[in-house]
C-alpha cells in the first residue's frame, strides 16, 4: 500500500465525484433554494394567493406586483411563491411513499421468490398497465370525496378545507402508480445479491431472514434505488402538472405551478399576458431539470467506472 495515500471511503469518493459534477451541483443549489422558499414562503409573499386586487387586473410587473397580476387580479409573484410549497410537498411525499412501497414489496419479492414474488410482480404489472394519469383521475374522482367526507365526519373540517386531504389522496395515488418500477429494481438487485457469498455466509451462521434482507442485502441494493428515486422527483412534479391540467391536481385556491400553467396556458394568444405563463413554466422546468441533474450526478458518482 502506498504509504502516503490518505484513506478513502466509498462515501467520500462518491461525494468527491458528485461535487465535481457542475450540473449536479447547480441542481442542488436550485433544490435547496426551492425548499428554502417553501419554508419561508409566508415571509416572502406580498399577498395571499387568492387575494384579488381589482385595481390592478392584468397589470404587468409594477411595484406592488413584481410579476404582475392575472385576469382575476391575483398577484402572480405571491402565487408562484405559495406554489413552491406544493412542489416541495410533491417532491418529498411522492418519492418517499413510492420508496417505502417499492422497497418493501421489491424486497419481499426478491428475497422470498416463489409465489410471493409472482403475486407482487403481477400486481405491479397491473398497476403498470393502467394509464397513470387516468388511474389517478379515477382515484381522485371516486375515492377523494369519500375520504373528504370521512375526514369531516371525524371532526377535522378545517383540515379538510385547507386542502391537505387533497394533497394526501393525489400524492398517494401518484405513489401507487410509481412503486412498481422501484419494486422491480429492488427485486432485481435482491435476486442477484441473495446468492452472493456474503449472504450465504450470513445464512450459514444462522442469521434470520429479516436480518439478512435488511442488514446485509438492502444496503447493497440501494444504489440504483437512490438514483431512480432522485431522478423520479422531477417526474412526480411533472405528473402533478398534468393532473392539474386535467382538473384533478391540487384543488384551488392552493396554487401549484401546474395549476398556474393550466390556468394561464391560454394566455399564449395575448401578447401582454403571456409572460405570466412563462414565469411558472420556467420555474417548473428549472426544478425538474435540477432533480434530473441530481439524479444523473448521483448515478455517475456511484458508478464511476461506467464510462
- Residues in contact with another protein by CB under 8 A are 1-5, 17, 20, 125-126, 128-135, 137-139, 141-143, 145-146, 234, 238, 241-242, 245-248, 258, 261-262, 265, 267-269, 271, 274, 277-278, 281, 284-285, 288-289, 292-293, 296, 304, 306-307
186 near 100, Cβ under 8 Å? no
Nearer to another protein, 159 or 268 (CB): 268
* Rounded least distance, CB 141 to another protein, Å: 6
* Rounded least distance, CB 142 to another protein, Å: 4
255 near 83, Cβ under 8 Å? yes
* Rounded least distance, CB 135 to another protein, Å: 7
* Rounded least distance, CB 286 to another protein, Å: 9
CA distance 237 to 229: 13
Nearer to another protein, 51 or 127 (CB): 127
CA distance 111 to 84: 39
181 near 99, Cβ under 8 Å? no
Place of cell 399576458: 273
Determine the angle formed by the axes of helices 274-302 and 10-19, rounding to 10 degrees.
140
Nearer to another protein, 213 or 260 (CB): 260
Residue 69's beta-bridge partner residues? 75
* Rounded least distance, CB 24 to another protein, Å: 11
Nearer to another protein, 132 or 163 (CB): 132
Joined grid coordinates for residue 61: 410587473
> Coil, strand, or helix at residue 306?
coil
Nearer to another protein, 137 or 164 (CB): 137
Question: What is the maximal distance between C-alpha atoms in the chain?
Answer: 78
Joined grid coordinates for residue 267: 394566455
Amino acid at each position: 500500500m502506498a504509504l502516503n495515500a490518505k484513506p478513502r471511503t466509498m462515501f467520500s469518493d462518491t461525494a468527491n465525484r458528485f461535487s465535481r459534477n457542475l450540473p449536479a451541483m447547480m441542481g442542488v443549489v436550485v433544490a435547496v433554494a426551492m425548499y428554502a422558499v417553501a419554508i419561508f414562503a409566508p415571509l416572502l409573499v406580498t399577498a395571499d394567493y387568492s387575494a384579488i386586487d381589482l385595481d390592478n387586473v392584468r397589470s404587468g410587473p409594477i411595484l406592488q406586483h413584481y410579476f404582475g397580476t392575472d385576469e382575476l387580479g391575483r398577484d402572480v409573484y405571491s402565487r408562484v411563491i405559495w406554489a413552491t410549497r406544493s412542489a416541495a410537498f410533491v417532491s418529498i411525499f411522492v418519492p418517499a411513499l413510492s420508496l417505502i412501497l417499492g422497497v418493501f414489496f421489491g424486497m419481499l419479492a426478491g428475497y422470498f421468490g416463489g409465489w410471493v414474488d409472482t403475486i407482487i410482480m403481477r400486481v405491479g404489472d397491473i398497476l403498470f398497465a393502467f394509464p397513470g394519469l387516468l388511474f389517478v383521475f379515477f382515484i381522485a374522482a371516486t375515492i377523494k370525496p369519500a375520504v373528504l367526507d370521512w375526514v369531516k365526519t371525524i371532526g377535522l373540517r378545517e383540515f379538510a378545507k385547507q386542502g391537505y386531504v387533497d394533497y394526501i389522496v393525489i400524492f398517494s395515488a401518484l405513489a401507487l402508480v410509481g412503486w412498481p418500477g422501484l419494486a422491480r429494481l429492488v427485486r432485481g438487485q435482491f435476486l442477484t445479491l441473495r446468492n452472493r457469498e456474503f449472504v450465504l455466509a450470513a445464512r450459514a451462521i444462522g442469521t434470520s431472514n429479516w436480518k439478512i434482507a435488511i442488514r446485509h442485502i438492502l444496503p447493497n441494493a440501494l444504489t440504483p434505488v437512490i438514483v431512480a428515486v432522485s431522478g423520479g422527483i422531477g417526474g412526480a412534479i411533472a405528473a402533478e402538472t398534468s393532473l392539474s391540467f386535467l382538473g384533478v391536481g391540487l384543488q384551488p385556491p392552493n396554487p401549484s405551478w401546474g395549476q398556474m400553467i393550466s390556468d394561464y396556458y391560454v394566455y399564449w394568444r395575448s401578447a401582454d399576458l403571456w409572460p405570466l405563463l412563462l414565469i411558472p413554466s420556467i420555474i417548473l422546468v428549472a426544478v425538474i431539470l435540477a432533480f434530473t441533474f441530481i439524479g444523473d450526478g448521483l448515478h455517475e458518482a456511484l458508478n464511476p467506472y461506467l464510462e
